Amino acid sequence: MAPGEPIECLAAIAWEAKKPLDVTKVIVAPPGPGEVRIKIIATALCHTDAYTLDGLDPEGLFPCILGHEAAGVVESVGEGVTSVKPGDHVIPCYQAYCGDCKFCKHPESNLCISVRAFTGKGVMKADGKPRFTTLDGKPIFHFMGTSTFSEYTVVHEQSVALVDKTAPLDKVCLLGCGVATGWGAVFNTAKVQPGTSVAVFGLGAVGLAVIEAAARAGASRIIAVDINADKFPAAKEWGATECINPKDHDKPIQAVINELTEWGCDYTFECIGNVAVMRAALECAHRGWGQSVVVGVAAAGQEISTRPFQLVTGRQWKGTAFGGYKSRVQVPQLVDEYLAGGTLLDKYITHRLPFTQINEAFDLLHSGKTLRTVLTF
Ligand code: APR
Ligand code: ZN
Ligand code: ZN
């Protein structure tokens, strides 16, 4: 097709909550000023896609095109775009980076606000409209500023990480969300030190990524916690030194861990999205200095609680979004580390399917038997 033309391509439309996705043709408009049109090569599924599709996100907009863990090739760029060009290999980042806002300039934050107001509404900043339409012209909302469940998508330039051309896109797509989040929670949020103790709650891809990073950071004791013992062999393989199933104990899990470690762990990570487990994780962080990091995303409206005494006696409660990585700057570095052989990225991919089988991939996600399913076009 000629540059600057609309593209007709395959996408998965979420028409409404709790309905299977409709794999069908859509029209993707050319990129507007400051925008990039990307040909998606591979996309994985993450719980946030399922959460929105299940209608649990009160801000979820329908119809929309979900998807936020992907990699692809730049097809064309809109007016004023200078950081990428057609043919570049990229990872779309739901956590944007402009380099210029208060959050980008702060060394401890990645919560860029440059396009957030628009990505939250499912539209593009230039004109407040989406770039997707049905064949008969109905608008379809974007999702998380990425909408990767489409052969082509349009994103803001602030949401595009330029990566090494030799990286396999059907693997590094995982760096768009879950695995990078787990690694970053360890390196950026907790800053895990060598010789320390760590407890990880929830052993899906995110929890395993925390274990992997904690092992790389030199933690000497890594306690893996899950109510599904089938998750333990992988946890050990990824670097856990011991595994605990809360169901095997009469006492609350925090009491079990506090007893095992005397005063708790130097760092604990909640990778489930369960507020009761968040409390347990805080309460088995070490008295005096233990840090507990909330990584899992709890359902809308949920609240966390603990006795203030837990904080008075030195425990710290923290949280992280996209592992604190400044996306456009650091995702390319994560790709380079992968290419240098330092990370376990390939092992998180337990299933591969063609894009047209995306609904089966959602069934797999709900089955609890997958780490990540990668779909290719
Ligand atoms: N105690 C311990 N483990 C639990 C509990 C519990 N109460 N409830 C669930 N789990 C375990 C599950 O058995 C599963 O192994 O937590 C794990 C969660 O893994 P996945 O469902 O595969 O989730 P993952 O992709 O790793 O994401 C985890 O991070 O990105 C967020 O939204 C995502 O909140 C989710 C979390
Ligand atoms: Zn995600
Ligand atoms: Zn910014």
* pLDDT, tens digit, 9 for 90 and up, residues 299-349: 999 999 999 999 999 999 999 999 999 999 999 999 999 999 989 999 999
Q: Which amino acid, one-letter code, is at 88?
A: D
> Does residue 60 surpass a pLDDT of 90?
no
- CATH assignment of the domain containing 164: 3.90.180.10
- CATH assignment of the domain containing 314: 3.40.50.720
> Does residue 2 surpass a pLDDT of 70?
no
- Based on the domain organization, do 277 and 351 belong to the same domain? no
The CA distances from residue 165 to 172, 235, 282, 335, in Å, are 11, 31, 42, 10
Any domain includes 333: no
Any domain includes 31: yes
- Based on the domain organization, do 146 and 32 belong to the same domain? yes
Any domain includes 362: yes
Distance from residue 348's CA to the centre of ligand 1 (Å): 14
DSSP-derived secondary structure letter, 251:
S
- Based on the domain organization, do 48 and 86 belong to the same domain? yes
- Based on the domain organization, do 260 and 192 belong to the same domain? yes
Any domain includes 334: no
- Based on the domain organization, do 12 and 142 belong to the same domain? yes
Domain residue limits at 213: 182-320
- Based on the domain organization, do 162 and 188 belong to the same domain? no
- Based on the domain organization, do 197 and 306 belong to the same domain? yes
Any domain includes 55: yes
Q: Provide the greatest CA pair distance for the chain.
A: 67
- Kindly report, residue by residue over 8-40, the tens digit of the pLDDT: 999 999 999 999 999 999 999 999 999 999 999
DSSP states along 97-146: --SSSHHHHSTT-----TTHHHHTTTS-TTTS--SEEETTS-EEB-STTT
> Does residue 4 surpass a pLDDT of 90?
no
- Based on the domain organization, do 41 and 154 belong to the same domain? yes
- Based on the domain organization, do 264 and 365 belong to the same domain? no
> Does residue 1 surpass a pLDDT of 70?
no
323 CB near ligand 1 (under 6 Å): no
Specify the number of domains making up the chain: 2
Residues 36-64 have a mean pLDDT of: 94
Any domain includes 309: yes
- Based on the domain organization, do 122 and 38 belong to the same domain? yes
Ligand 1 pocket mutation, candidates 272, 362, 366, criterion most atoms within 8 A of CB: 272
303: three-class secondary structure by DSSP: coil
ipTM surpassing 0.95, yes or no? Answer: yes
Any domain includes 222: yes
Distance from residue 97's CA to the centre of ligand 3 (Å): 5
Distance from residue 120's CA to the centre of ligand 2 (Å): 15
Any domain includes 337: no
228 CB near ligand 1 (under 6 Å): yes
- Based on the domain organization, do 371 and 237 belong to the same domain? no
- Based on the domain organization, do 37 and 67 belong to the same domain? yes
Catalytic residues: 46-48, 68-69, 98, 101, 104, 112, 116, 177, 372
48 CB near ligand 1 (under 6 Å): yes
